[in-house]
Structures are given as C-alpha cells and as structure tokens.
Amino acid sequence: MATSGKAHGKALVFKLDNQAGTLTDISAYVKSVDGLPGEVEMGDVTVGGSAGYKYYPGLQKADFSIECVFDDTANSAYDLVKNFMSDTNTRSFEFGPAGNTSGFAKILGECRIKKVSLSAKVTDILTFTVDMSLDNDLTIGTWV
C-alpha cells in the first residue's frame, strides 16, 4: 500500500457536494484547506485527591475552511457554494491533503456551510473563503 510520506500541498484533493447531493471535485479552485481533522472536546473529570487535571474525551469538533480562486462560471467552486444560505441538508466532503492515490490519507464527513466570504484586492486575484462546520462524525482513512 502506498503512503505519501512527506508531500507538497500542490496535489491536494477537495470534494464537496453540490446542492443536489452530488460529490464534486473542486480541487482545481482550492488554494488551501485549514482546520481538518479538527479536535475532540475534553470533559474535565478531575476529582478531589487528584495530583493534576484529568480529562475524558467527548465529541468530535471541526470548524474548517477552504480558500478558493474566484470563478463564477458554471460548475466552478463558487457556483457550488454561492446559494449556501438556502441549504437545508448537510454536504458530504472528502479531503486528500497529499492527493487521492490509493493508500494516501483521506478525511471525509458531513458538514454545513456557515459562511462564504469574497475578497477583492486591487493587486491580487479574486478569492473567496468557505467556512464549514463538521456535522456528526469524521472518518480518517485512506483512498482506495
């Protein structure tokens, strides 16, 4: 089985459901992915007589974002998320930080889009950021 070992981010893969529920590869628009795989909330179970704090793992949590190059043509990343305020369902996502070669790391789950933020600077390309929150649990596996 292949593993990526050390890798450059240029091969990242990010897929996100469109509003119809079809997983769509938007990697060609994604500049960065931040915040995955997230964290596990820790409950404080420290009691009298303890020498230090003690914790018990609880729920998974991930607030994450993708930064994308702006392009408003059909089937672009922006086209996929621009109507997020009318979403009533979660969206599936798949993320391969080193690519999608068999055996490479793959993070997947369901999320909700919280915010889409456009950025326009006179001296730079147009970009936008999509902020998402994990909905339910996260799976960390490998591409097959």
Residues 40-90 have pLDDT tens digits of: 999 999 999 999 999 999 999 999 999 999 999 998 999 999 999 998 899
Q: Is residue 48 part of a domain?
A: no
- The CA distances from residue 81 to 95, 110, 129, in Å, are 17, 15, 10
Residue 118 domain-assigned (yes or no): yes
Residue 109 lies in a domain: yes
What is the per-residue pLDDT for 61? Answer: 94
Q: Please report whether residue 68 resides in a domain.
A: yes
| Residue 113 pLDDT grade (very low, low, confident, very high; cuts 50, 70, 90) | very high
Q: What percent of the chain has pLDDT over 90?
A: 89
Residue ranges making up the domain that contains 91: 12-42+53-142
Look at residue 22 and tell me if it is in a domain: yes
Alpha carbon distance 10, 33 (integer Å):
12
Q: Is 13 helix (H, G, I), strand (E, B) or coil?
A: strand
CATH code assigned at 82: 2.40.30
Give residue 99's pLDDT band: very low, low, confident or very high (50, 70, 90): very high
pLDDT of res. 1? 54
Q: Number of structural domains, the chain?
A: 1
Within a domain: residue 35?
yes
**According to the model, what pLDDT value does residue 127 have?**
97
Q: Tell whether 129 is covered by a domain.
A: yes
Does residue 2 belong to any structural domain of this protein?
no
Pairing of strands 91-96, 30-34: unpaired
Structure-token match 């292949």, residue found? 2
107-128 burial, b for 16+ CB within 10 Å, e for fewer? bbbbbebeebeeeeeeeeeebb
Output the pTM of the full model: 0.90
